[in-house]
Structures are given as structure tokens and as C-alpha cells.
Amino acid sequence: MAALRKLPWDRLGAELVLLHGSILRSTRPRDVDLVVFLRPGVDVDEAVLRIMEAVEAVTGLEADVYPVVDEAEADCFLILEASKGVILYQTPRGRERLVEAINICNDFMISRRKLRYTERLVERVLKGAHREAAGDDSRARGDTRRG
């Protein structure tokens, strides 16, 4: 982890870097998972490629980099999970952006619970499966009615 902290994150276009995943839990990690809040105006593809190369050079492991350009568009499940990890690098603006992303994601998760999003989605899928199965049964009996 010390080698990762020493990378020139600012020159790589980062404002904040979160390390998460197997590298924190395993003595034999598969890869290096990072969430990187990129500085506005940075070429995202170029920055991700440079970060991957730098991380792989110091760790010898494949780097999995998730770039954050707009906090409102970030994957909330990933942000909330990664926020349990370790901050490798941060600027004051990067900290502000992480807090903003976590707030957005917490609001999203509260709304999901209030609306029972997952439960309703599962109910709809199950209803569709029941209807489909009932349709298969009626076709097997030769019932040609639609409904």
C-alpha cells in the first residue's frame, strides 16, 4: 500500500483515490480495485490508462479503475462499498466530492427502501413468470383464448 500512496496521483489527474476490494482482505489479492475521482477537464480514457499502468507497475497486479467524473452519475452501490476502503490520496476538493457522492448515494438508498424498489421489482418478475407459466399450461391444454 505504501507504493500506491507514493504514486503521483495529482499528475495522473486524480483528486481522490479509494482503494477497496481483495487487496485489503487477502494475502493473495487478484487485482487492485480503485475508485478515482478525476479532476474536471481530464481526458477520462487517458487518465484511466495512465493510472492502470502506474498501479500495475508498482504492484504487479491488474488494476481495476472506476473513474468518477460526475458524482451524480456514479454507481452508488460501488461508491458506498468502496467508501469502506482506504483513501490513498486526497485533495480538499476530492474530499468534498466524495462526501457529495456519499450523500447522493445515501439519499438514493433511502428512496429505494421507502419505495420498496427491490421488492416491487421481484414481485413484477415473479408475476410475469407466473403469467408465462400459466400461458404455457393453457397452450399445452389446447386453450386458444387470449388473456
- Please write the tens of the pLDDT for every residue from 58-110: 999 999 999 999 998 999 999 999 999 999 999 999 999 999 999 999 888 88
Cell of 21: 476490494
Give CA separation, 121 vs 106, 107, 111, in Å.
Answer: 20, 19, 14
Residues 6 or more apart from 51 whose CB is under 8 A from it? 12, 13, 14, 34, 36, 63, 65
pLDDT band with cut points at 50, 70 and 90 for residue 38 = very high
Position 136 scores a pLDDT of: 58
Cell of 144: 386458444
Sequence-ordered alpha helix ranges (H) in the chain: 2-5, 22-25, 44-59, 76-82, 92-114, 117-140
- Please write the tens of the pLDDT for every residue from 112-137: 777 676 677 777 787 776 677 666 55
Rounded-to-integer distance, Cα 34 and Cα 99, Å = 17
pTM for the model stands at: 0.75
Position 119 scores a pLDDT of: 73
Cell of 36: 478515482
Rounded-to-integer distance, Cα 99 and Cα 15, Å = 13
- Fold of the CATH domain 2-115: Beta Polymerase; domain 2 (3.30.460)
Position 131 scores a pLDDT of: 74
Contact at 8 Å (CB) between 107 and 101? no
Position 41 scores a pLDDT of: 95
Burial label for 122, CB within 10 Å (0-12, 13-18, 19+), is exposed
Domain boundaries, the chain: 2-115, 116-147
